[in-house]
Amino acid sequence: MIIRLNIVDKFSTFLSITDSYKFILHWRIDYKLKKNIKKIILQSSVEADILAYQMLNNLRINNNLILRHHLTSYLQEISYWTTKYVYFHLNNIITPLTLDECFLLASEAITQPEKILRKYQFDGGSKITTYAYTRLKTIVADKIYLSRNWKLLTNWGLLKKISKSNRENILKNIGGLTENKLKEYLLVWQCFVDNYTSFSTTKNKSLSPPNLAQLKLMTSQYNLLGKKIFEFTSELTMEEFKERVEFCGEKARLFINPVTVEYPEDKEINQEENYIHYFNDLEEYQQKEKINLILVTTFKSLNLPSQSIFYLSEAFGFTQQQIIKTIRLTNSNFPSQQYQLSRDTEKIRKYLLDVVIKNFKGEKEKFNPEKIKSLIQLLKQWLTEYIESEMLLLCQESFLSIETSQQKSLENNYFNFYLDKSSILEHISVELINIFRQKLNAKLNLQLEENTLINNNIKLWLEKFFHEYFNQQ
């Protein structure tokens, strides 16, 4: 894939597979869309991302087919990077899995851009492509899991399925429970398993929650066993029991579906708002640079382990367990439990937002409660964009440190790979990968392992860099 440079191509071309075996793609032009986008940009000269947002807002109030096609075209590169990311992260645990399958799922999802971007807002100027990339990775991975009947169970099903030997590990390491609290929750879990029966009538339907009769029976068993065997000093009400079961279910879900760094849900889009006069609201965009500068300065002031959390989650898609394992190799005092990492990550996010708000002191009208909510939503996108820019900068430093002849060879291979049907990834040397690894290790005081997942992620970042660097020479 060669990246698109002009705004007409970005809204009128689509990726098509040329070679399935080596996953070679080419651009296909839709001439009707090309003609239409030329008319649009003649009327107003605007950046591609802003134009995409204007189209999205119009699509939210008018079911305009041609705008949907323009947005689908605009998200083509995102489907490509999502394909590579999901494949590299799942191909070792789900087989058989191909790049073709991932690409087709991503391509299908972006044919309805208004659904993928349903909760996207422009506040603060975050890129529409950043939000789409984050959402699409989850969507494609979930579709792959579902196609294999993996992780299809509700939390109620997980509580029934997970073995006793794993329950204590989950509640201790993920839930952060110890001593008596751990014993209480383990008993809650067991009482649920002993008495739960799903009332779903069809074979493939998600398991239903326990009904009132079941909850009453579970609670009674808990209180009886808790008093006789464990000598608990207090009993639980049915509502308290249900809350504890739900807690166990949430932690079981994290055990089955490991997460990286969790963020609050995006605020729902207000569908009653009038989006037609979008360009009257561009003062929001002007705040972006100020907020960005504050966040960059503040993020760089964090200690290296704190920065590493976000580099490893955003750039490599590490789970919480992988983040802990990696950072503790060089920082033995770093938290060893997932619940501690979640707590510390929340503190860092709150600190970043507090600094932004304090720097706007005297401009309180711009930071009412609704504005603060939008800042919380913005932080995820900002972190993704910031980490991406830093990773691409490391790619450039690594690339420029190799021999000039090697640089030229990579550039030639990049532009010629359509002719010989070889992927640019095949020409990325182990030397370049290791240089990048060393630079990132030095930057964050880490010891990244030399394994397939990390190497593939480094290759993916180098490929992104080549797309930008070689096309701007």
Task: For residue 197, give both structure tokens.
Answer: 């029966």
User: Running DSSP on this structure, what letter comes out for residue 263?
Assistant: -
pLDDT at position 265: 37
**Within a 10 A sphere around the Cβ of 368, how many other Cβ atoms?**
10
Written as six digits, the tokens of 319 are 């789970």
- Partners of 16 in the beta sheet? 26
Amino acid in position 213: A
Residue 209 · residue 200 · CB < 8 Å: no
Q: Print pLDDT tens along the chain (473 aa).
A: 778 888 999 999 999 888 777 787 889 999 999 999 998 888 767 789 889 999 999 999 988 899 999 999 999 999 999 999 999 988 877 778 999 999 999 999 999 999 999 888 776 567 899 999 999 998 898 888 777 765 556 788 788 878 888 899 889 888 888 888 999 999 999 999 988 887 654 444 456 788 999 999 999 999 999 988 888 888 999 999 999 999 999 888 877 665 554 443 333 223 333 323 333 333 444 566 788 889 999 999 999 999 999 999 999 989 888 999 999 999 999 998 888 888 899 899 889 988 888 887 655 455 566 666 667 777 888 899 999 999 999 999 999 999 999 999 998 888 776 554 556 777 899 999 999 999 999 999 999 999 988 999 999 999 999 988 988 75
Residue 151 has what DSSP assignment?
S
- Note the pLDDT of residue 5: 84
Identify which of 129, 122, 130 has the alpha carbon closest to the alpha carbon of residue 284.
Answer: 122
Q: What are phi and psi of 11, to 5 degrees?
A: -115, 10
Residue 312 CA to residue 315 CA, distance in Å, equals 6
Q: How far apart are CA 460 and CA 84, in angstroms?
A: 7
Cα 263 to Cα 389: distance, rounded to the nearest angstrom:
21
pLDDT at position 263, please?
A: 41
C-alpha count within 13 angstroms, C-beta hemisphere, residue 145: 14
Sign, CA torsion 306/310/311/312: positive
* Helix (H), strand (E) at residue 19: strand 13-19
In one letter, which amino acid is 263? Y
Residue with tokens 């809650």: 188
Report strand pairing: 24-29 vs 13-19: antiparallel
Rounded Cα distance, 373 and 264, in Å: 10
Q: What's residue 90's pLDDT?
A: 87
Closest CA to 396 of 446, 464, 318, 344: 464
Question: b or e along 377-398 (b: 16 or more beta carbons within 10 Å of the residue's beta carbon)?
Answer: bbbbbbbbbbbbebbbebbeeb
pLDDT at 281: 37
Q: What local confidence, expressed as pLDDT, does residue 25 receive?
A: 86
Q: Give yes or no for a contact between 269 and 60, defined as CB atoms under 8 angstroms apart.
A: yes
Sign of CA dihedral 387, 388, 392, 393: negative
Q: pLDDT at position 285, please?
A: 47
What is the chain's Cα-based Rg? Answer: 25
Give the single-character DSSP code of 182: H
| Torsion 133-134-139-141 (CA) sign | positive
* CB-based burial, 172-204: b 16+ in 10 Å, e otherwise: bbbbbbeeeebbbbbbbbbbbeebbeeeeeeee
**DSSP secondary structure letter of residue 15:** E
Backbone angles phi, psi at 379, to 5 degrees: -60, -40
How many Cβ atoms from other residues are within 10 Å of residue 228's Cβ? Answer: 9
Q: Are 275 and 57 in contact (CB under 8 A)?
A: yes
Is 73:33 a contact under the CB 8 Å cutoff? Answer: yes
